[in-house]
Structure 1
Amino acid sequence: MLDERKLDVLRAIVEDYVATHEPVGSKTLVDRHNLGVSPATVRNDMAALEEEGYITQPHTSAGRIPTDAGYRLFVDKLSTVKTLSPAEKKAISSFLGGAVDLDDVVRRTVRLLAQITRQVAIVQYPTLTRSSVRHVEVVTMTPRRLLLVLITSTGRVEQRIVEAPDDVDEQLIADLRSRLNTALTGQRLSEAAGALAGLPDTFQPADRALVTAIVTTLLEAFTDEGEQRIAVGGAANLTRYGDDFERNVKPVLEALEEHVILLKLLGEATHPQTLTVRIGHENPYEELATTSVVATGYGSKSEALATLGIVGPTHMDYPSTMGAVRAVARYVSQILADS
């Protein structure tokens, strides 16, 4: 177990390396940080940290840089999540609050998160299975064609066309619309099918064919998840890696093109109250061994509707990045709850 002085030295090394991207020497630590010990003592502490695997020397006669284990210890024990300033919070609230629908919320969130973290931002769209029904609308388009609209609690809108066997009776459509909303509003989509069981049998025999067609189409909308959607922004921020494109940047760019990989990266962030941080080789893909992922869920206090986060170099500013990811997720959760 490292004593407090060695932990202070590790914290200083991480902070300096994140700020300068240059290996850190003992003299630099003494000059920049009030460690209260001599350079010789700092050198001894650095030797101990290196032996424990928390720092390493990239080149002979160079200073030290943190390892994945060093960053992990920093994140777990040495850092505190940086809170945003009132001005930053107001700017986030204003920018996200101007969104007009779910797609706009996601687009704005990706753009905002990439800008304030200077990393690659990833936002997963809310999945249907975790949503509930907000409203069902049935609109007559032609005498024998209807538009079925499902609006979920996350602002997602699903539209389906229903072909009627005969000319539509507007009174029947009004009655059906009312019954559908009475039965479904507030129901989780994963459980809503049960609320529709037997509904066609409550109508007159002559109307049951149309009601059955509408109910069947609605059930398909409940379960038609399709490909899980994500939005990615800020890839240009990868230029902060420096000049080593082939080894660091190119593999990351290629991995970012695979949405399955991105969904798995965000997959551990299953709760809105918890930040997940995976550092370097903790990531399951070798292409991302030089990156870290900071992610969290967004939604209600008890359950995530989906996830969002960032991918960036391991030498990122963890306290600020973690604070930004957490704050943005909370604002998105609030916007979806109020919409």
Structure 2
Amino acid sequence: MSEPRRLEVLRAIVEDYVHSREPVGSKALVDRHQLGVSSATIRNDMAVLEEEGLIAAPHTSSGRIPTDKGYRLFVDRISEVKPLSAAEKNAIQSLLDGAEDLDDVMARTVRLLAQLTNQVAVVQFPRAQGASVRHVECVLVAPQQVLMVLIATNGSVQQRVVWMPMEIREAELSELKQRLQSAVSGLKLSALPAALDAVLPQLPPALRAHGGTMAGALGQLADLGRDDRIVLAGTANLARFTGDFPLSIGPVLEALEEQVVMLRLLSEMEFDARGISVRIGSENPYGGLSEASVVATGYGPDAGARLGVLGPTRMDYPTTMAAVRAVARYVSRVLEE
């Protein structure tokens, strides 16, 4: 059979099975798709696809379903990731534009992605170690108490009330803030300790005790949030797909609960020319996810953090890929503002 027709038959089988969850037969393909050949020809084509391991017969059914290999070929042959509709784009923009801080952005993002795809959405917080200092704020809240605020370029806002060794005046606090801000502005968070150590000896003797306390607090704020974290939404969506996990849905839920597993998986996924990574079934190196697919992409500064969705291999890949990529672009834009 011809290569183009083989791909068309495979595409039709994937699309029908994804939407119906019923094995697909040759007659159904002829009725639903304009393939331009007879049922007998389609049956021959399906036999070849089966020999190549791209489709399989579940039990004694006369229909066929895609295998992991078949899904992979289908995904690889998606030439372009289709854009979302105007309504979907507006929904993304209106929801994310109202976010108040990084935690709110992440919560809104994961909830939105779960709603758009009807899958489990997974979002990794932007990596703090790759972020830089955007702003340092110091507010006198009591004669010996200062509120220290560190704002990073990844949207992270860390704050802490610091007890000073003695009373500090507004003028002294203002001078210390300017000196510390000048020393660390634009630096990577990981470079803060060395920069702060270097600036302390340059402070007037009367301010060194206060400066040391404030510098120590800034170093601690830079360390906060460096541990990779992920946030999930839509886990209940898996309940609609229990039939897609013949063995048990338990291992999938366990993998989701083990953040280390998901973080490692996301970090190992390499993006293709479309900026998307898709792991299908047995391609996942973790046994608990051998019946699941993961679609992910990068976002934020240098696309260092990842977001994506997890669901059964019987997934609407084109729509899911489009949603994942679109949401990532909007989140990146929000974090840059």
Normalised by the shorter chain, which TM-score bucket?
Answer: over 0.9
Mapped partners of 2:255, 2:108: distance in 1: 23
| Structure 2 unpaired stretches of 5+ | none
Q: State the Cα deviation string for residues 43-78 of structure 1 (Å, max 9, x = none).
A: 111111111111111112431110101001100114
Query: Counterparts of 1:184-333 in structure 2 under 5 Å?
Result: 184-225=184-225, 227-243=227-243, 247-269=247-269, 274-300=275-301, 303-333=302-332
Mapped partners of 1:2, 1:258: distance in 2: 46
Deviation of 1:26 after TM superposition, in Å, equals 1.0
Corresponding residue for residue 103 of structure 1: 103
- Matched to 2:267, the amino acid is G
- Secondary structure of the residue aligned to 1:199 is helix
Deviation of 1:278 after TM superposition, in Å, equals 0.4
Identity %: 56
* 8 Å Cα contact 1:147/1:159 also seen in 2: yes
Corresponding residue for residue 93 of structure 2: 93
Mapped partners of 1:86, 1:70: distance in 2: 32
* 8 Å Cα contact 1:241/1:248 also seen in 2: no
* 8 Å Cα contact 2:23/2:61 also seen in 1: no
Mapped partners of 2:217, 2:155: distance in 1: 20
- Matched to 1:154, the amino acid is N
Deviation of 1:14 after TM superposition, in Å, equals 0.6
Mapped partners of 2:278, 2:29: distance in 1: 27
- Secondary structure of the residue aligned to 2:247 is helix
Mapped partners of 2:314, 2:208: distance in 1: 63
- TM-score by structure 1 length? 0.93
* 8 Å Cα contact 1:270/1:304 also seen in 2: no
Deviation of 1:2 after TM superposition, in Å, equals 7.2
Query: Counterparts of 1:42-121 in structure 2 under 5 Å?
Result: 42-78=42-78, 80-121=80-121
Corresponding residue for residue 334 of structure 2: 335
Corresponding residue for residue 173 of structure 1: 173
Corresponding residue for residue 156 of structure 2: 156
Deviation of 1:305 after TM superposition, in Å, equals 4.1
Q: Does residue 144 of the first structure (1) align with residue 144 of the second (2)? A: yes
- Secondary structure of the residue aligned to 1:167 is coil
Deviation of 1:89 after TM superposition, in Å, equals 0.6
- Matched to 2:275, the amino acid is T
- Matched to 1:128, the amino acid is A
Q: 1:38 to 1:198 in 2, by over 3 A?
A: same
Deviation of 1:209 after TM superposition, in Å, equals 2.0
Mapped partners of 1:110, 1:225: distance in 2: 18
Mapped partners of 1:95, 1:78: distance in 2: 29
Q: State the Cα deviation string for residues 231-271 of structure 1 (Å, max 9, x = none).
A: 10001111221447772422212221111112122213577
Mapped partners of 1:152, 1:91: distance in 2: 27
| Structure 1 unpaired stretches of 5+ | none
Q: Report the more deviating stretch, 264-273 or 274-283.
A: 264-273
Q: Report the more deviating stretch, 138-147 or 25-34.
A: 138-147
Mapped partners of 1:66, 1:244: distance in 2: 13
Mapped partners of 2:195, 2:234: distance in 1: 43
Q: 1:3 to 1:122 in 2, by over 3 A?
A: same
Q: State the Cα deviation string for residues 128-186 of structure 1 (Å, max 9, x = none).
A: 11211111112223222322110111221112333322221322210111122223222
Corresponding residue for residue 24 of structure 2: 24
- Secondary structure of the residue aligned to 2:166 is coil
Mapped partners of 2:246, 2:176: distance in 1: 60
Mapped partners of 2:131, 2:78: distance in 1: 38
* 8 Å Cα contact 2:119/2:310 also seen in 1: yes
- Matched to 1:205, the amino acid is P
- Secondary structure of the residue aligned to 2:162 is strand
- Secondary structure of the residue aligned to 2:36 is coil
Q: CA RMSD of the aligned region, Å?
A: 2.1
Q: State the Cα deviation string for residues 290-314 of structure 1 (Å, max 9, x = none).
A: 11000111114xx124211100010
Deviation of 1:88 after TM superposition, in Å, equals 1.2
Deviation of 1:226 after TM superposition, in Å, equals 5.2
Q: 1:16 to 1:266 in 2, by over 3 A?
A: same
Aligned length: 336
* 8 Å Cα contact 1:120/1:237 also seen in 2: yes
- Secondary structure of the residue aligned to 1:294 is strand
Q: 1:32 to 1:283 in 2, by over 3 A?
A: same
- Matched to 2:315, the amino acid is M
